[in-house]
Amino acid sequence: MKITNGCWLQKENITAFYPQEVYFSEEKEDGRIRLVAPAHHVAHRGDTLGGVNITVEIMEAIPGVFRIRAYHHKGFKKDAPCFALNINTVSCMKWDETEDAIEIQSEDLCLRIDKKDWRMAFYHKKKLLSVSAAKDMAYVRKDYPGDAYVKNDDGCSFMREQLSISVDEHFYGFGERFTPFVKNGQTVEIWNEDGGTSTELSYKNIPFFVSDKGYGVFVNSTDKVSFEVGSELVNKISFTVPGEELDYFFIDGPDIKGVLEKYTFMSGRPALPPQWTFGLWLSTSFTTDYDEDTVMHFIDGMLDRGIPLKIFHFDCFWMKEFHWSDLLWDERVFPDPEGLLSRIHAKGIRCCVWINPYIAQESALFEEGMAHGYFLKRPDGGVWQWDMWQPGMAVVDFTDPEAKAWFQEKLSALVDMGVDAFKTDFGERIPTDCVYANGMHPRKMHNYYTYLYNQAVFEVLEKKKGKGEAVLFARSATAGGQCFPVHWGGDCWSDYTGMEESIRGGLSLQMSGFGFWSHDIGGFEQTSTADVYKRWAAFGLLSSHSRLHGSSSYRVPWNYDEEAVEVVRFFTRLKMRLMPYLWSMALQANRKGIPMMRPMVMEFPKDRNCTYLEKQYMLGDSLLVAPVFQEDGIGECYLPEGTWTDFFTGEKINGGRWYKRRYSYFGLPLFVRENTIIALGERDDTPEYEYAKNVTFKIYGLKDRAYTAVYDKEGKITAEITAVYEKDDPQITVESKYHCITEMI
């Protein structure tokens, strides 16, 4: 939200009040520091007889993180849901006050507040990170009529903060955004919408960003937060929330990984998906015609061609048209769904079905839900309905415990029938002219709705299948949604541009606390060429999760050409062999919040060439992946300093430069970082096996000391290896109860 007109003027009909000084300060019983900051300098007692004060409260959320709450009127109605945050209840920070300043310390993070002329400066040790100075923090009014005439709750109040941007500072995150990866110069609205991958709209909006200076900011609001990332004042990043209060966390990394560790500690770490989810998913696609014969034909076709399929997904037409989501199988094409699921399981394949929280008027559930009041309501008490997506559809109100339990009961019946996972589609088109059972403001519930939706479904799977076996394939998210993986990138076009948009959005999401991510191999809208499909297959099978899915056509590889079958088989089997390595990276995501697919700037923060890279990534600590985006097969990537090894050929390449060559469909730039040990499993037909048994440890570019471990399903170490460089005789130590193979590359 822009409030200024250049450097000196406010926009028309905008009035802003800025803290001018610290008039007094105090420490509360819970360790909070409370500051009263009038929006004018107080020269005498008469200056205290009215006007705007901004109260600022500072506490230590966790070590190395300050929580800052600034408010105008404290007594406003608390009508917004709260993110589930793991933070201190008592602050342990240290502070000191002089006549001129207040200094507050938490680990290496320091906040200095100048009292006489308001200024807040954040430091990592003695390194200045960012500053909120005069006219940065603000209470903002639209159409301000004067103190005596302001009406409460008129929708004209906002709180704004601005933080300084250094020269050569860059910002990332804000959720899954398909705009350029570096967000400088952009306006970002935190508002979930179903907009596809070729617009500034996003399915997954997260009010969190990270700077390559090594700090991050999380705005603790479910409302429509507006960020101006150097797009109002080019030397400021601002964030604005409606209402009377601003609540944000300033997170010291001191690097990007450290920021994500702290942020996900507070907002929730990604659950660990079961091993089988890392196998290949195949979908019926969206609007295609299919029945049991079609399904079994696809499954048998994949298996007969030697493609290790692990999950089959039934998209929306497993239910009758106009009936979504009644969660009932269409008996015209699936007369024996329980038997069908059993027959699929007998082939070693799991089953996933598509759902959403919208209940069409023709659904068998509509009358039941309406009678019990389980849907969002209109202000007059009727059911909120519209015709967008399904005629007459209503929306399940997950703030009503009985409605939530009712919906979960329907899902439980499907799990009992043999369903292993749910694709939780939609959750973005949530109304703001409705009434919730919990009485919360509908605008403030709009983004948060997806958290309640995905949480409800995830709980069912955890309860029915056990902790560690639950997995979703979700499209919408808000802060904390990373706890319910996996998320996929939404509706992209089936061309190289759509592929490029997808990777950009995925990397932004990974910078926002999400550890696992997928996308529609081959694209969603329309049908790709065989060329794009094969290139996308390589990218998709070197992502954390891999799914073949589309809109109006099947995505089985033989529908493209026979080489597509070979390509999908080749990369699926490669991924299965990489499972010991990938599983260790999944555990990192679960335990530390460090994503599996990492932007280059996250892994190489000191290499300025990595700042803007958005078409390549690190898959875990050690594998560099650069999908091919050109019909001529030219693959191009930047290799940071060091010696890199071509995974396929073993060729050594010196880094610190760009690398380019032509690749067949069975290749792409896939490089191994120096001083790395990659564990390759003995099997290539399934993601579920004993990873330590006959594992091959490949040691790449040993320069000093390298280490890696292999983990079992429960996350316990079952094999580990240490390699120490010595000129003529490297020292290799392996601990495992199984036979292991070691290779020097």
From the list 125, 204, 207, 129, the residue with the least C-alpha distance to 169 is 129
CATH 3.30.70.1290: does it fit domain 4-74+90-267? Answer: no
Q: What are phi and psi of 699, to 5 degrees?
A: -100, 115
Report pLDDT for 546.
98
> Each residue of 486-509: pLDDT tens digit?
999 999 999 999 999 999 999 999
List pLDDT tens digits, range 288-297: 999 999 999 9
pLDDT at site 360 = 97
54-105, pLDDT tens digit by residue? 999 999 999 999 999 999 999 988 999 999 999 998 888 999 999 999 999 9
Q: How confident is the model at residue 42 (pLDDT cuts 50, 70, 90)?
A: very high
| pLDDT tens figures, 211-220 | 999 999 999 9
> What's residue 203's pLDDT?
98
- Find, among 473, 494, 629, 475, the residue nearest to 550 by Cα: 494
On the question of a cis peptide bond just before residue 333, with omega within 30 degrees of 0, the verdict is no
The answer to whether 358 touches 324, Cβ cutoff 8 Å, is yes
Band of residue 447 on the pLDDT scale cut at 50, 70, 90: very high
Look up the CATH number of domain 597-744: 2.60.40.1180
Mean pLDDT value across residues 577-588:
98
Fold of 275-359+400-588: TIM Barrel (3.20.20)
Taking the C-alpha atoms of residue 22 and residue 45, their distance in angstroms, rounded to an integer, is 15
Give residue 232's pLDDT band: very low, low, confident or very high (50, 70, 90).
Answer: very high
pTM of the shown model: 0.98
pLDDT at 151 over 90: no
State the average pLDDT for the chain. 97
Same fold, 4-74+90-267 and 597-744: yes
Q: Are 110 and 122 in contact (CB under 8 A)?
A: yes
Percentage with pLDDT > 70 across the chain:
100
Phi-psi region of 673 (alpha: psi -120 to 50; beta: other; left: phi over 0): beta
pLDDT greater than 80 at residue 152: no
Please report the pLDDT score of residue 154 as a whole number. Answer: 73
Cα distance between residue 450 and residue 463, in whole Å = 20
Tens of pLDDT along 526-576?
Answer: 999 999 999 999 999 999 999 999 999 999 999 999 999 999 999 999 999
Assign 728 a pLDDT band (cuts: 50, 70, 90): confident
Residue 448 pLDDT greater than 80, yes or no: yes
In this prediction, what percent of the chain has a pLDDT beyond 90? 97
pLDDT of residue 354: 98
- Three-state DSSP state, 106: strand
What are the φ/ψ torsions at residue 258 (nearest 5 degrees)?
A: -65, -40
User: Above 90 in pLDDT, residue 727?
Assistant: no
Angle between helices 292-304 and 337-345 in degrees, nearest 10:
0
Contact indicator for 281, 545 with CB cutoff of 8 Å: yes
C-alpha to C-alpha distance for 523 and 532, rounded to whole angstroms: 9
Kindly calculate the radius of gyration of the chain based on its CA atoms and give it in whole angstroms. 27
- Residues marked as catalytic: 425, 428, 491
**Residue 147 pLDDT:** 85
Q: What is the pLDDT of residue 13?
A: 94
Q: How far is CA 347 from the centre of its chain?
A: 33
Compute the average pLDDT of residues 130-142: 97
Cα–Cα distance between 548 and 338 in angstroms, integer? Answer: 24
- Cα angle 48, 139, 173; round to 5: 145
Q: Judge contact between 397 and 437, C-beta under 8 A.
A: yes
DSSP conformation letters of 30-69 = TS-EEEEEESS---SGGGGSSS-EEEEEEEEEETTEEEEE
d(CA 435, CA 354): 27
CB-CB contact of 389 with 425 (8 Å): no
**pLDDT bracket for residue 332 (50, 70, 90):** very high
The domain segmentation of the chain, as residue ranges, is: 4-74+90-267, 275-359+400-588, 597-744
- Residue 740: the pLDDT is 97
pLDDT, average across residues 318-339 = 97
Cα 249 to Cα 265: distance, rounded to the nearest angstrom: 13
